[in-house]
Amino acid sequence: MPVIEILGLEKTYATGLFRKQRKHALHAFTLEVYEGEVFGFLGPNGAGKTTTIKLLMGLVFPSAGSARILGLSIGDPRVHAYLGFLPEQPYFYDHLTARELLEYYAQLSGMEAKGRARRICEVLQRVGLDGSAETALRKFSKGMLQRVGLAQAILHNPRVLFLDEPMSGLDPLGRRELRLLIEELKAEGKTVFFSTHLLADAEALCDRVAVLHAGRLRGVGAVCDLIGDAGRVELVWRGRNPVAMRPLLLETHISGELVRGVVPEAAQEEAMKILRCASLPLVSLTPVRTSLEEYYLRQTQSEAPPQEVRA
Amino acid sequence: MTVLTIARSTFREAARDRVLYSPAVFAVLMTGAAILVGQVSIGIERQVVINLGLAAVTFFGVIVAILVGTGLVAKEIQKRTLYTVLSRPVERWQFVAGKFVGLAGTLAINGGLMGLGLLAALRYVSPGFSGADAWVLVAVYFILLQLLMVCGLALLFSTFSSPLLAGVFSFALFVLGNFAQELRDVAQSGAGWVHRLMVGATYLMPNFSAFNVAAGVAHGESIASLLILHNSIYAVTYTGMVLCAAVLAFEWRELQ
């Protein structure tokens, strides 16, 4: 059963002086996210990622379509008890200390008074802020605020987490710690839906990703499918680059006596025959796999109709 | 419970905000000035202290109500602190109600302290409490009722406009509210749909005419129990209606 079901969700804003013009922030799309998945929501700035998350959080209202989380409509206030949310570039009440802020959120989340203090200590430790619990948030750096944001998102042990650009503002160590935290949350059975620009993180963490561009869903699929076989092979051999080989090569790179050439998979046998005839020793032969970056660029730079890989 | 949690947080924010302390300090200074003026105003010290004291309580109370009230929702939207609150099991009406209760509590404590300062000043110029002092406290109570209405209006405007505009609207209505009775009299003299529109508009704005009892109290006049009841019911009803409008406006507000 899907944990998040988006059914033809669409968002249009009225713009202009008399609000007569319509701007499509999000074109109707359908998407399902399953329990225990780490789902990456990718797309350039202005693609509609934050709008989607705001719609799911009930901060803005859909122009058409609907969505359900854990079987409850997004308009149902009960659903929020099971959700954790980290907004993009979070800002908190800066007159409070980290502990006071978490105490406030714990009360709003309806957490029992008994065990609240212990849970706050646990999450502060988990995000690496146990030494700054009594510091006013106005003295926190951007990275520390991001950590507080994560702490409040996981505080009430939610089943589904929405993280909007969670890596933003974190240094490399912080990013690594966040990746580990997301992996831990997945191991605990949580569903994590996060938006990011950082494709390496998405590739390392996500079970599935969706690519959004200009408010349209361009593709959805399992990362292993998207970064699959590219239909090309890479050959590395020692010596020169034979003339007969050149028409077959899609890419060539010569480094010292090593030649690296990429040929279409169909031309693999012919390329090897040329090397054998020229007595050039083959060092390696590797199938080329598409990176998530290539897939992302293909989806966001082309005007071709959206490609459905596997919903 | 949620409303109280938000109210406590609002109170704590206001208490840690310097804007709350400065009016109290200024009110004390004003009362001190009143004492000085009282000493040079032979025979009317008490009147001068009451008039200046009540004016100071009103002035600083309105400033706090508008400054803090207009920022209650608008600032949370601008700074996006609201996102993490509304993503929890918190309904929008609970947020508005909690913010109002928190600020109303702050204003009550602030106004109460200023009222006590005024009583202390009165004690200084005329030793020993008199029965007329009770009417001074009723006058402070009327001011607090006015602040409650101004606070509700500031909250309403902050749900759909910027803090600056909300402040301008709230202050304008506070000023107009003090002339509401005169405006109603003028509106009654018209005719046709313009007349009906103007009469309607004057009834939509708060009517503070019956709350201004400072001059009478300064002269030792008593306040009728019926007026206390009337003003209490009017303030609670008006504030309740304004809060309902604020909740409706906020329910439809998109947090972009």
A181 close to A103: Cβ distance less than 8 angstroms:
no
* Chain B neighbors of A109, CB-CB under 8 A: 88-89
Is A60 in the B-facing interface, judged by CB distances under 8 Å?
yes
Task: Give yes or no for a contact between B58 and B208, defined as CB atoms under 8 angstroms apart.
Answer: no
What was the pLDDT predicted at B60? Answer: 85
Which residues lie below 8 Å from residue A111, measured CB to CB, with a gap of 6+?
A: A119, A155, A156
Mean pLDDT calculated for residue range B176-193: 81
- Mean pLDDT over residues A246-263, rounded? 89
Q: What is the pLDDT of residue A193?
A: 94
| A308 — pLDDT class (breaks 50, 70, 90) | very low
Whether B247 shows a pLDDT value over 90: the answer reads yes
The whole-number average pLDDT for the span A211-237 is 82
- Top pLDDT among A225 and B90 is at B90
CA B225 to chain centre: 21
CB contact under 8 A, A95 and B17: yes
CA distance B46 to B44: 5
Contacts (Cβ under 8 Å, ≥6 apart) of A167: A175, A178, A196, A198, A201
Spatial separation of the C-alpha atoms in residues A280 and A294, rounded to whole Å = 32
Rounded average pLDDT over A118-142: 89
pLDDT for B100 beyond 80: yes
The predicted pLDDT at position B34 comes to 67
Tell me the CATH number of domain A2-226, given options 3.60.20.10, 3.30.450.260, 3.40.50.300, 3.50.50.60.
Answer: 3.40.50.300
Average pLDDT over residues A86-94: 87
Lowest mean pLDDT among A152-156, A203-207, B27-31, B188-192: B27-31
Cβ pair B69, B147 in contact under 8 A? no
CA distances to A111, A123, B25, B224 from A103, rounded to whole Å, are 10, 12, 32, 47
Is the pLDDT higher at B192 or at A151? A151
Which DSSP string do the residues of A187-242 spell out, in sequence order? HTT-EEEEEES-HHHHHHH-SEEEEEETTEEEEEEEHHHHT-EEEEEEEEEES---
What the block records as the tokens of A138 is: 């106005």
CA distance A239 to A236: 10
Is B12 at the interface with chain A, CB within 8 A? Answer: yes
A285: left (phi over 0), alpha (psi -120 to 50) or beta: beta
Quote the tokens at residue A121.
């200590």
pLDDT for the residue numbered A311? 40
In this complex, do B88 and A95 lie within 8 Å of one another by their Cβ atoms?
no
- Burial A65-75, CB ≥16 within 10 A → b, else e: bebbbbeeebe
Q: CB-side exposure of A210: number of CA atoms within 13 Å?
A: 23
Structure tokens at B202: 């004057």
**pLDDT at site A143:** 85
Q: What is the pLDDT of residue B79?
A: 82
* Among B87, B92, B95, B106, the residue to mutate for chain A (most A Cβ within 10 A): B87
The set of residues, in sequence order, having a beta carbon less than 8 Å from that of B121 and lying 6+ positions away, is B31, B32, B34, B35, B49, B53
Shortest CA distance from B91: residue in chain A = A77
SS3 label, residue B98: helix
Question: Looking at the partner chain, which of A87, A92, A109 has a beta carbon nearest the beta carbon of B89?
Answer: A109
pLDDT of residue A124: 93
- Closest-CA residue of chain B to A51: B256
Extract the tokens encoding A193. 């839906």
With 80 as the cut, is the pLDDT of residue B228 above it?
yes
Give residue limits of the domains in chain A.
2-226, 229-289
The closest of A278, A248, A284, A279 to A263, measured between CA atoms, is A248
Is the pLDDT reported for residue B255 higher than 60?
A: yes
* Token pair in block for residue B171: 């202050």
Q: What is the DSSP letter of A97?
A: B
Give the pLDDT mean for A220-226.
79
List the structure tokens of B52.
Answer: 């200046």
Q: Specify the pairing of strand A216-222 against strand A208-213.
A: antiparallel
Are residues B84 and A152, on separate chains, in Cβ contact within 8 Å?
A: yes
| Residue A267 backbone phi and psi in degrees, to 5 | -95, 10
Give the max Cα distance, chain A: 80
Domain ranges of chain B: 2-252
The mean per-residue pLDDT over the stretch A230-237 comes to 86
pLDDT value at residue B125: 75
What residues of chain A lie within 8 A of the CB of B254, using their CB? Answer: 59-61
Per the CB < 8 A criterion, the answer to whether A160 and A2 are in contact is: no
pLDDT at B242 over 90: yes
**pLDDT tens digits for range B31-47:** 677 667 767 766 677 78
Of B83, B88, B256, the CB nearest to A108: B88
Of A85, A278, A82, the C-alpha closest to A193 is A85
Kindly calculate the radius of gyration of chain A based on its CA atoms and give it in whole angstroms: 24
> Complex ipTM above 0.85?
no
pLDDT at A310: 41
Question: What is the arithmetic mean of pLDDT over B162-177?
Answer: 90
Distances (CA, A) of B84 to A59, A86, A90, A190: 10, 7, 9, 19
Q: Is the pLDDT of residue A151 over 90?
A: yes
Report pLDDT for A64. 92
* pLDDT above 70: percentage of residues in chain B: 93
User: Can you read off the two tokens belonging to residue A240?
Assistant: 């020169």
Q: How many CB atoms lie within 10 A of CB B222?
A: 14
- Per-residue pLDDT tens for B115-149? 888 888 887 777 777 777 788 889 999 999 999 99
pLDDT at A283: 92
Query: Any idea which residue has 């602190």 for tokens?
Result: B81
Quote the pLDDT of residue B116: 83
Which residues have C-beta within 8 Å of that of residue B57, sequence separation ≥ 6? B27, B111, B114, B115, B118, B140, B143
Of the candidates B80, B81, B254, which has its C-beta nearest A61's C-beta? B254
Give the burial class of A288: count Cβ atoms within 10 A of its Cβ; 0-12 exposed, 13-18 middle, 19 or more buried.
middle
SS3 content of chain B, % helix, strand, coil (to 5): 85, 0, 15
pLDDT at B127: 73
Q: What confidence score (pLDDT) does residue A307 get? A: 46
C-alpha neighbours within 13 Å on the C-beta side of residue A211: 28
The β-bridge partners of A209 are A40, A221
CA distance A267 to B75: 64
Flag whether pLDDT at A271 surpasses 60: yes
User: Rounded to a whole number, what is the distance in angstroms from the first to the last CA of chain B?
Assistant: 28
Residue of B nearest to A107 (CA): B5
CATH number for the domain formed by residue range(s) A229-289 = 3.30.70
Taking CB atoms and an 8 Å cutoff, what residues of chain A touch B68? none
Structure letter (DSSP) for residue A262:
E
More confident residue, A46 or A294: A46
Beta-carbon contacts of B143 under 8 Å, excluding residues fewer than 6 positions away, are B54, B57, B58, B61, B111, B211
For residue A84, is pLDDT > 90? yes
Q: Is B15 on the interface with A (CB under 8 A)?
A: no
Mean of per-residue pLDDT scores for chain A: 87
| CA angle centred on A207, ends A206 and A209, rounded to 5° | 70
pLDDT digits over A159-211, tens only? 999 999 888 878 888 888 888 989 999 999 999 999 987 788 888 888 898 98
For the ranges A195-199, A242-246, B17-21, B72-76, the lowest mean pLDDT is seen at B17-21
pLDDT digits (tens, 9 = 90+) for A17-73: 777 788 888 889 899 999 999 999 988 888 889 999 999 999 999 999 999 999 999
- The tally of CA atoms less than 13 A away on the side-chain side of residue B115 is 20
